[in-house]
Structure 1
Amino acid sequence: MAISPEHQIYSELFADAPDMAVGFLRDLGVKVPDYDRSELTSCDLGHVDPVERRSDVTIMLRGKVHEDPLGKLMGIVVEVQRDDKERKRFTWPEYVAAMRSKHECPVTLLVICPRQNVADAYNAPIPLGHPGFVLHPLVLGLERIPVITDPAEVGRHPTLGVLSAAAHGPADPDVVKALHTGLDSIDQEMATKYIGYALHLLTDSNGQRALEELMMTETYEYTSAWTESLKAEGRTEGKAEGEANMLLLMLEVQDIEVTEEARERILGCTDSTQLKTWAIRSKNITRIDELFED
């Protein structure tokens, strides 16, 4: 079974910021040991069928263990689950046991559910059959993701800002504003990636429309690299030229390959209405030629 883009994005957010998983575990009441370093470790749990028998992200917390200053203190298996699948109740205990056996340290399972009804379904113990041998998944649904409306907080923890926007952005425009403004304070390449992640996770929601509007507007009170770039282009090259460049940015963050012919067509367009039509259409395409279909 192919991994969906949404699934991959959530996995990569936790891979980019392993300490974020620790924060959520502590919020869920887990006693996490003090550690000096968190790092990604092997996701291969010893099987040749990786789609079904491989965890999404595995994290190792390291610190002083006896004489080893960076010994293995605790492993974390992070699983992203978008649907309720009975099979997972059999594979998750295997992930935990396999990682514990491989690294010889305690291991905790954290399940990330982008849909609250799926989180509720998984929030139940999994008895393994042996007396007293029960796995209680630690499940993170939308309700447990914090509402972040402070751009400075997004700047400090951009991956958490993307999660917050995905969870609460459709209903709370202040979360989207904070994400848009806060990402201006981090590396531009990373900011572009996270804007693309947020646009995808917010697909077909008010949050997506709000974020696109922030990226396209010239007069919004929250200024950032995105809006300031558009303003500068609008003043020196005309409004249409600024909108054309913003459309190219939106295509870039969606990983749409833009041919030289398509680039010239977009940059050569002086019709602001046409450019806005293409910008709206761009969120539903997978190939650049689809942008120009009537």
Structure 2
Amino acid sequence: MAISPEHQIYSELFSDSPDMAVEFLRGLGARIPEYERSEITSCDLGHVDPVERRSDVAIMLRGRGPTDPFDRLMGIVVEVQRDEKARKRFTWPEYVAALRARHECPVTLLVICPKQSVADWYAAPIELGHPGLVLRPLVIGPKDIPVVTDPGTVSASPTLGVLSAAAHGTKKTDVLEALHTGLDAIDPEDAAKYIGYSLHLLAGTDGQKALEALMMANTFDYHSPWVDSLRAEGEAKALLRVLARRGIEVPGEARERILRCTDEETLDTWLDRSVTATTMDELFAE
């Protein structure tokens, strides 16, 4: 089964920031050992059927143990679930057992659900059949994701900022403002990636429109294909509005030329000319 872009984005966020999974587990009451570092480990559980037998993200916590200063202390299986699938109640125990057997350390299951109703459904304990053997998934839904309104928090943990925006950005614009401002302080390429993730997770919502409006304000001091195309689209639409207000007819071919243009300098020139031009020929003059 093909993995959706939304599913992949959530997985990438936890791959980028394994310690974020640890903080969520602590918030859910899980006992976490004192560790020196966290790292992504193999998700392949050794079956010939990788689609059905591969966790989304597998994390290993390492620290001082009896024989090694970076011993394997604890594994974390992170699963992203967008809808209810009864089959997961059978495969998740296998994920936990396989990672535990491979690394000979305790393993915890963390499930991330973009919808609260799905999170509530997955929180039910999984009875394995053997007396007393029960797996209780630790599940994160939107209500468990903090409302991040501090740009400094976003700068320190961009992945948490994206999760907060996806969970709360449709109703809380201060979350989007914090994301927008906080990402301006990190590496431009990373900022572009996380803005792209956020816009995709907010697709079709008022949150997407609000975040786009913030980006169009030209306060982001970086460029990416996504952001540049968005700004160009905004300038093109503004240009068409000016021409319409001035009563200048814009034939279909000219409209398409304006909307297809992605060069900001050219669009700026056309926008300046639109104030005095009386024909499209004057607007497009070389």
Quick check: TM above 0.5? Answer: yes
Given that residues 215 and 226 in structure 1 are in contact (C-alpha distance below 8 angstroms), is that contact kept between their aligned partners in structure 2?
Answer: no
Matched, 1:123 2:119: no
Q: CA-to-partner distance for each residue in 1:226-275, whole Å, 9 max, x for gaps?
A: 59xxxxx9xxxxxxx99428789xxxxxxxxxxxx999833245666xxx
What is the CA-CA distance between 1:206 and the residue it aligns to?
1.1
Distance in structure 1 (CA, Å) of the matches to 2:156 and 2:23: 14
Distance in structure 2 (CA, Å) of the matches to 1:45 and 1:266: 46
Matched with 1:98 is 98
SS in 1 for 2:50: coil
Matched with 1:176 is 176
Given that residues 232 and 262 in structure 2 are in contact (C-alpha distance below 8 angstroms), is that contact kept between their aligned partners in structure 1?
Answer: yes
Q: CA-to-partner distance for each residue in 1:151-210, whole Å, 9 max, x for gaps?
A: 011000000000000000000000000000000111000000000000000011111000
Change (3 A) 1:243 1:224: closer
Matched, 1:28 2:9: no
Question: How many equivalent pairs are there?
Answer: 244
Correspondence for 1:225 among 208, 221, 224 = 221
Change (3 A) 1:264 1:82: closer
Distance in structure 1 (CA, Å) of the matches to 2:104 and 2:15: 22
After superposition, residues 32-47 of structure 1 pair within 5 angstroms as: 32-47=32-47
Matched with 1:252 is none
Given that residues 151 and 179 in structure 1 are in contact (C-alpha distance below 8 angstroms), is that contact kept between their aligned partners in structure 2?
Answer: yes
Q: CA-to-partner distance for each residue in 1:129-157, whole Å, 9 max, x for gaps?
A: 01011000000000000000000110000
Q: Which amino acid aligns with 1:225?
A: D
Matched, 1:265 2:253: no
Matched with 1:276 is none
Given that residues 215 and 246 in structure 1 are in contact (C-alpha distance below 8 angstroms), is that contact kept between their aligned partners in structure 2?
Answer: no
Q: Which amino acid aligns with 1:159?
A: T
Q: CA RMSD of the aligned region, Å?
A: 2.4
Distance in structure 2 (CA, Å) of the matches to 1:143 and 1:119: 10
Matched with 1:161 is 161
Change (3 A) 1:243 1:134: closer
What is the CA-CA distance between 1:49 and the residue it aligns to?
1.4
After superposition, residues 1-294 of structure 1 pair within 5 angstroms as: 1-217=1-217, 223-225=219-221, 243-244=231-232, 265-267=261-263, 268-269=266-267
Deviates more, 1:88-97 or 1:45-54: 45-54
Change (3 A) 1:2 1:63: same
What is the CA-CA distance between 1:224 and the residue it aligns to?
3.7
User: Which one has the largest radius of gyration?
Assistant: 2
Distance in structure 2 (CA, Å) of the matches to 1:98 and 1:73: 16
What is the CA-CA distance between 1:217 and the residue it aligns to?
2.3
Distance in structure 2 (CA, Å) of the matches to 1:265 and 1:28: 50
Distance in structure 2 (CA, Å) of the matches to 1:264 and 1:142: 38
Distance in structure 1 (CA, Å) of the matches to 2:72 and 2:132: 26
SS in 1 for 2:139: strand
Which stretches in structure 2 are left out of the alignment for 5+ residues? 237-256, 272-286
Given that residues 147 and 168 in structure 1 are in contact (C-alpha distance below 8 angstroms), is that contact kept between their aligned partners in structure 2?
Answer: yes
Q: TM-score scaled by structure 2?
A: 0.80
Given that residues 36 and 62 in structure 1 are in contact (C-alpha distance below 8 angstroms), is that contact kept between their aligned partners in structure 2?
Answer: yes
Q: CA-to-partner distance for each residue in 1:115-139, whole Å, 9 max, x for gaps?
A: 1000010111000001011000000
Distance in structure 2 (CA, Å) of the matches to 1:28 and 1:66: 28
Distance in structure 1 (CA, Å) of the matches to 2:230 and 2:93: 53
Distance in structure 2 (CA, Å) of the matches to 1:113 and 1:262: 41
Distance in structure 1 (CA, Å) of the matches to 2:230 and 2:209: 19
Given that residues 153 and 161 in structure 1 are in contact (C-alpha distance below 8 angstroms), is that contact kept between their aligned partners in structure 2?
Answer: yes
Which stretches in structure 1 are left out of the alignment for 5+ residues? 228-232, 234-240, 249-260, 273-294
Change (3 A) 1:206 1:34: same
Matched with 2:252 is none
Change (3 A) 1:188 1:89: same
